Structure 1
Amino acid sequence: MTVAVAVQVAAFGLSALLALLRFPGALRGRNRGMFTCMVLIALAMALSLPVFYNAVDALLGGRNLTNLVLRLALYAVFVILGVKAAAAFGAPRAGKLIVGPIGLVVLGLTVGLTVYLFAASELPVSSAGLMIYDDQRSVQLYASVGRLYPGYVAACICLPALAAAANTRLKPLHRLGAGLVGSGLVIVVIFCALIELFFIGVFGLLLPFTAVILVTLGLTVMWVSHLRQRRRPSRNLLAESYQNVS
């Protein structure tokens, strides 16, 4: 197993575990939005692995519809994560950029172009990551557009997350979680820029999956901190805002 594949598997395992840990709380009505987000992350990570991708795509007709499902799942992940994180990190401007008029236009254009470019491509045989079709211009554009929305949302909320990590008024676990989330989102932004400008080889897999690991770890740390806080209530109102991602 290569390092890149190991990171992919780790990203899937971690996101799946976190989704399972949140399941009991979701059944009780606690922050079902973040539970849905974690389920979608786990789904996207699973479909990035050929063993799951090929099995699911066979059920969908073997024409790579699974890749389109993966893209749309990631867009949904970043909508939920962006809104929740903007609220948790006290960044209303970032929230407006994500679900305000500008953000909705960006999302609508991204989804529309993604579906159009997928339909315009010749994809007769299942291929995880569409690797065997990367010589098609429409597939290249499809991949670029697919990185647009995650990069946009990550750029909106990475700085508020890092600012929260530096905020000494917050509890240490909150700050650690915010720092992990912010670091993961910075990697998303860097990855989206680098891959459009340079050939980055194996880092094309290492960077995005490392980002997933950091973000999911950060969400886990913040969730644990919130659980501890519920057992020992605090009057720190700023810290209590983190229930949006807990």
Structure 2
Amino acid sequence: MSSGTLIQWIALAICVIFAAARMPDAVRGKGRCMFVVLVLFVLAVALSLPPIYLVVDGLLGGVNVANLLIRFSLYAIMLLLGLRGAAAFGSRRAQALIRGPVGISVLGFTVVATVILFVLSDLPESSTGLRAYADQTTVHWYAHLGRIYPAYVGACLLGPAAANALDTTARGLHRLAAGMMAVGFVMVLAHMALKLTGIRTGAADVYLPFGAIVLVTTGITLIWLSRRRSAKDGSANFLAGEQRRF
């Protein structure tokens, strides 16, 4: 097993564990949005692995609809994470950029263009990551397009997350969580920037996106743990009244 494949399996295991840990609260109606985010992360990461992708896509007709599921899962993840994250970090500007006309336009364009490029591509057989069809222009742009909305939301949340990580009045666990998420967003942006340059990125194609997933999901979980701790001692923190949403 290569190191790249190993980090994919590690990311999947982490997402499964974090989602399972939040299930009891979700059943009671608490933090359901972030629970859904973690479940979608499980789906997206699982479908990045050939043994899982090929089976699932085979059940869906063997024409790579599973890859489309990955894209839509990531768009939903970033939308929900963006809305909750902006509120939790207390950034009205980020909220406006994500839920306002600009954010909705970016999301709408990305979704429509994703479907169009997928339909225009010739994808007769299952191929994890569409690697077998990388020479097709439509697949090339389909891949680039899939990074636009995640990078947009990551850019919107990077500043607020970094600011909270540097807030000396916040609790240590909160600062750590915000810092991990900020680094995760940097990795998302770095991956997109590298791919746009056209240079061969090699192992970075795995380490950057899946490393970002590990950091962001860990940050989400640390915020949740901090919220539970705060609920017990009644102390204030940087999430203020919005932390219950996370």
Aligned position for 2:34: 34
Q: What displacement does 1:196 show?
A: 1.2
Residue type matched to 2:234 in 1?
P
Aligned residues, how many? 245
Please give the alpha-carbon distance, in whole angstroms, between the structure 2 residues aligned to 1:30 and 1:229.
15
**What is the deviation of 1:242?**
2.6
Counterpart position of 1:211: 212
Structure 1 position 191 matched with structure 2 position 210: no
Task: Show the 5 A alignment for 1:125-204.
Answer: 125-197=125-197, 198-204=199-205
Unaligned 5+ segments in structure 2 are: none
Number of the residue aligned with 2:13: 13
* 1:142-198 residue CA offsets vs partner (Å, 9 max, x unmatched): 001011100110011011101100001111100000000111011101111111102
| Aligned residues with identical type, % of pairs | 46
Residue of structure 2 equivalent to 1:241: 242
1:89 maps to: 89
Residue 222 of structure 2 is matched in structure 1 by 221
Q: Which runs of 5+ in 1 are unaligned?
A: none
Q: Distance in 1 between matches of 2:51 and 2:99?
A: 35
Matches within 5 A, 1:94-105: 94-105=94-105
Q: CA deviation at 1:62?
A: 0.3
| Structure 1 position 244, deviation (Å) | 2.8
Q: Paired residue for 1:65? A: 65
| Mapped pair 1:24 → 2:28 | no
Q: Deviations over 1:65-89 (max 9, x none)?
A: 0000110000000000000110011
CA distance in 2, matches of 1:160, 1:238: 11
Q: CA deviation at 1:239?
A: 4.1
* RMSD of equivalent CA atoms: 1.1
Q: Residues 45 and 147 (structure 1 numbering): CA distance in 2 closer, same or farther, change over 3 Å?
A: same
Change (3 A) 1:237 1:2: closer
Partner Cα distance (2:30, 2:82) in 1: 18
Asked if structure 2 preserves the Cα contact closer than 8 Å seen for 1:171 and 1:239, the reply is: no
TM-score by length of structure 2 reads: 0.97
SS in 2 for 1:126: coil
After TM superposition, give the deviation of residue 17 of structure 1 in Å: 0.9
Q: 2:167 aligns to what SS in structure 1?
A: coil
Range with bigger deviation, 231-240 or 136-145: 231-240
